[in-house]
Structure 1
Amino acid sequence: MQIGTLRRLSALFLIVLVGGTARAAEPPKSGNPVFDKAVQLVLDKFYDVSALDRFKEAVRREVEDPKSPLTVTSPDERVHQAIDTVLASLQASHTGHFSKDTIDYFELADIFRYAIRDDIKRLFPPDGDVTYPGIGMIAKPGNGLWYVSDVYDGSPAARAGILVGDEIVTVDGAPYYEIASFKDKVGRAVDMQLRRRPGAELTNVKVQVESLKPLPTFEKAIAESARIVERGGRKIGYMHLWTLAAPHSMGAVAEALAEGPLKDADGLVLDLRGRWGGGSADAAELFVGNTPPFRLIPRSGEQELANVRWHRPVVGIIDEGTRSGLEVFAYALKANHIPLVGSRTAGALLAGRAYLLPDDSLLELAVANAIIGDNVRLEGSGVQPDVPVEFSLPYAAGEDPQRDAAIDEMQRILARGEAQRG
């Protein structure tokens, strides 16, 4: 073989090989603008280049499968299923596809409102305020049924007495849908049928439908969750940190501890079983920071909180809902020897960003890796509890073994402290 030919083949070999492995050819286009836009965003923005060959093969299989063709005229449901299938090949958190028939869509739209700022007023006229019709309740599917997984504190669902674990049988006599069950019903009550125990008679409740703003709803739920549990003459505070993404999330916690219902608590149970992460990476400083608390006192004499630090005992509750920024929070607590009760966190710690697709569905995409300290990566591994306690959702009837175990742990901590002082 001539030297010139060898050189040309070598150059071609270097183009095809990247990092010692063959790079897959670009996947074929499907002809569907929504699917193709999602694919292109992954190819352009996804943080882990090493996963793209696997992704391209998944796209190729999806497009070329004769049993499930993707065309411009494909139904939305088929397109969304295809996007979910190819995204799953990336095996990463902060990567998903959300349509307007889910609560996730609206909550993420508010969390990522800056990323979609050019379209926010068009999507949510006239002022760009993200809202959806709902009752402040999240449900998860299982075995073909829907079970209440979260009830936001202070919400219509909480006021109506809906409990975590309830099976949702019907809403106004029809099957339950996250958004459609409450659409065009804001300002009036819906009739819900729930089943609290397997085979039990149905429980009927009336729930007022409201126009909910996701981030303010979270802030209200955090503030409303604060309460004191009396155990053995001790005051144990409890607060549920639903997310760090709302602007006033940690402010609500600080106010409850410094001036609100938890100011006289002997210890605090902090519930990190959230919906979303977000927030500042140093949010746990309120509990583990070394700077002293201080107040500002203007001429009027009315004190203003400038900095709050909690120096009394803390116990955290974690589970698979503890993700992203809340996982960093949990890791910081554990690193500072604050006990964690519950089950392993989600192992979902990457930096995500939202993109709008041509049908206004939302694509969340991991765009950066996340490392804690020298080389700690929680993605895929999570944070393990110090006191493992499992929780079974179906028909829990509001019972919460993880919260109960955390309160018991706090009792033991306070008792030990009293014994040492005595």
Structure 2
Amino acid sequence: MRNSQMKRASYLAAAPLLFLAIAEAPAADPPRSGHPVFDRAVELVTDNFHDESAIDRFAAAVRREIEDPQSPVAKASPPERIDQAIDAVLASLDASHMGHFQPDTIDYFELADIFRYAIRNDMRRLFPPDGEVSYPGIGMVARPENGARFVSDVYDGSPADRAGILVGDEVLSVDGKPYHEIESFSGKIGRPVELRLRRRAGAEPITLKIAVEKLRPLPAFEKAIEESAEVATHDGRKIGYIRLWTLAARNSMGAVAEALADGKLKDADGLVLDLRGRWGGGSSDAAELFVGDTPSFRLIPRKGEDVLANVRWRRPVVAIIDEGSRSGLEVFAYALKVNGIPLVGARTAGALLAGRGYLLPDDSLLEIAVSDAVLEENTRLEGAGVEPDLPVPFSLPYAAGHDPQRDAAIEEMRRILARG
């Protein structure tokens, strides 16, 4: 049964995720407000959104926004108010892979690197001199919750990781000023900043000095995947762990394969695979490393080192999922689930469309869902997601680095190994 299910899962999501796709343009002209950024966003959505039957609903939302005397597009408004208007009309489509991103956010830079081919003609202008996406930062993402900002991601091996920042820390200030994802670190590459945090509710703040680095998104993700690999001994058995931050980086799965075949995880008795990522992307057959039935092999030249040609992991696996498991990572999770590999955590994002990035006149980035994605036997994950076999909630504020989902996955692996 495992092999037949694997064969069904191997061709899931034939449409590439987070990559270029093109939709036919509807005939009707979209409503216009006279604001160049808003109107260009409306035009791009009208011409490229994958579901043409939804365009009338979208046009109605645009008209309401234009005709509302309180709308930012009905009067001279600052850029942030135009952002709100764009967000409002995008929300009318109720679809994933729809978003508007400004260059004062980490999302902007990460998506610009993921969509680099789609915006290739502007890369050198946006990221001089060589067109390589980079931004000043420390390898930390914080998200708003209850009027505060809490660390939601610390990239393995990053300055934030080395400094001891923990998931759940409340971010209070950087160099005595309010925290901003990009602005707080701009012009400070190679210099330390003082980051004030609160680790527990009501506790006194702590201050950490952290060096700012020039971060390149996709290489940073590859490094984070490599650095996340570790092994711990439980009940005399070695349990490995690795986090797949994204499938969009060129060597995402290569980093996992290397760790399993020749790296830190090669002697592990079982593996906890963390699919709580930042972005999806990647090949739809990435899960083949764990569920494929082709044999592992190496290419052995007359001279030089052996080359890994095909890696297959045959030992037990438990995967962790949550709302950060989206797009290609959801296909990955689905393939594991139909092959009997247990999933621990929370339901995935339910974000399985194919997206493309477009630049707007102000150089903000618009992501549009340009293709639908339907799995075998008309299975849809968009809006539904993949449910865990073992649900485990996670509360972010003041988590102090405690990770109940990872702990539960390790316990599940211990039970599997104990059964022999």
TM-score for the superposition, normalised by structure 1: 0.92
Structure number with greater Rg is 1
1:188 aligns with 2:191: yes
Within 5 Å, give how 1:102-117 maps onto structure 2.
102-117=105-120
Q: Residue deviations 1:196-251, cap 9 Å, x none?
A: 11000111101110010000000000000000011111100000000000000000
The answer to whether the Cα contact below 8 Å between 1:322 and 1:346 also exists between their aligned partners in 2 is yes
Within 5 Å, give how 1:228-247 maps onto structure 2.
228-247=231-250
Report the counterpart of residue 14 of structure 2 in structure 1: none
| RMSD, matched Cα | 1.3
Give how far 1:75 is off: 1.2
Report the counterpart of residue 161 of structure 1 in structure 2: 164
Report the counterpart of residue 20 of structure 1 in structure 2: none
| SS of residue paired to 1:181 | helix
Report the counterpart of residue 36 of structure 1 in structure 2: 39
**Which of 216, 220, 224 matches 2:223?**
220
Give how far 1:261 is off: 0.3
Question: Which amino acid in structure 2 is aligned with residue 118 of structure 1?
Answer: N
The answer to whether the Cα contact below 8 Å between 1:29 and 1:36 also exists between their aligned partners in 2 is yes
**Which of 53, 57, 67 matches 2:56?**
53
Report the counterpart of residue 324 of structure 1 in structure 2: 327
The answer to whether the Cα contact below 8 Å between 1:99 and 1:362 also exists between their aligned partners in 2 is yes
Moved more, 63-72 or 239-248: 63-72
The answer to whether the Cα contact below 8 Å between 1:27 and 1:57 also exists between their aligned partners in 2 is no
Q: Residue deviations 1:5-52, cap 9 Å, x none?
A: xxxxxxxxxxxxxxxxxx998553111100000000111000011221
Give how far 1:374 is off: 2.1
**Which of 254, 272, 275 matches 1:272?**
275
1:409 aligns with 2:412: yes
The answer to whether the Cα contact below 8 Å between 1:101 and 1:179 also exists between their aligned partners in 2 is yes
Question: Which amino acid in structure 1 is aligned with residue 288 of structure 2?
Answer: E
The answer to whether the Cα contact below 8 Å between 2:57 and 2:92 also exists between their aligned partners in 1 is yes
The answer to whether the Cα contact below 8 Å between 1:27 and 1:60 also exists between their aligned partners in 2 is no
Question: Which amino acid in structure 1 is aligned with residue 351 of structure 2?
Answer: A
1:365 aligns with 2:368: yes
The answer to whether the Cα contact below 8 Å between 1:219 and 1:246 also exists between their aligned partners in 2 is yes
Q: Residue deviations 1:299-357, cap 9 Å, x none?
A: 11521111100000000000000000000000000010000000000000000000000
| SS of residue paired to 1:118 | helix
Give how far 1:53 is off: 1.7
1:70 aligns with 2:47: no
Report the counterpart of residue 130 of structure 2 in structure 1: 127
1:178 aligns with 2:181: yes
Report the counterpart of residue 4 of structure 1 in structure 2: none
- More relative contact order, 1 or 2 (CA 8 Å, 6+ apart): 2
**Which of 248, 260, 263 matches 1:260?**
263
The answer to whether the Cα contact below 8 Å between 1:241 and 1:249 also exists between their aligned partners in 2 is yes
The answer to whether the Cα contact below 8 Å between 2:279 and 2:326 also exists between their aligned partners in 1 is yes
CA distance in 2, matches of 1:50, 1:99: 29
The answer to whether the Cα contact below 8 Å between 1:111 and 1:215 also exists between their aligned partners in 2 is yes
CA distance in 1, matches of 2:294, 2:251: 21
1:209 aligns with 2:212: yes
Give how far 1:149 is off: 0.1
CA distance in 1, matches of 2:77, 2:47: 25
The answer to whether the Cα contact below 8 Å between 1:138 and 1:148 also exists between their aligned partners in 2 is yes
Report the counterpart of residue 296 of structure 2 in structure 1: 293
Report the counterpart of residue 333 of structure 1 in structure 2: 336
Question: Which amino acid in structure 1 is aligned with residue 258 of structure 2?
Answer: E
Q: Residue deviations 1:83-134, cap 9 Å, x none?
A: 0010010100001000001000000000000000010111001110000010
CA distance in 2, matches of 1:224, 1:24: 50
Q: Residue deviations 1:42-83, cap 9 Å, x none?
A: 110000112212211111111111112416843111111100
Question: Which amino acid in structure 1 is aligned with residue 388 of structure 2?
Answer: P
| SS of residue paired to 2:120 | coil
CA distance in 2, matches of 1:69, 1:345: 34
| SS of residue paired to 2:184 | coil
Question: Which amino acid in structure 2 is aligned with residue 155 of structure 1?
Answer: S
**Which of 79, 84, 94 matches 2:97?**
94
| SS of residue paired to 2:73 | coil
Q: Number of aligned residue pairs: give it.
A: 395
Q: Residue deviations 1:239-295, cap 9 Å, x none?
A: 000000000000000000000000000000000000000000000000000000000
Structure 1: give runs of 5+ residues left out of the alignment.
Answer: 1-22, 418-422
The answer to whether the Cα contact below 8 Å between 2:68 and 2:74 also exists between their aligned partners in 1 is no
The answer to whether the Cα contact below 8 Å between 2:110 and 2:217 also exists between their aligned partners in 1 is yes
Percentage of identical aligned residues: 74
Question: Which amino acid in structure 1 is aligned with residue 85 of structure 2?
Answer: A
Give how far 1:185 is off: 0.6
The answer to whether the Cα contact below 8 Å between 2:72 and 2:85 also exists between their aligned partners in 1 is no
Structure 2: give runs of 5+ residues left out of the alignment.
Answer: 1-25
Moved more, 43-52 or 350-359: 43-52
CA distance in 1, matches of 2:76, 2:360: 16
Question: Which amino acid in structure 1 is aligned with residue 143 of structure 2?
Answer: K
| SS of residue paired to 1:120 | helix
The answer to whether the Cα contact below 8 Å between 1:24 and 1:56 also exists between their aligned partners in 2 is no
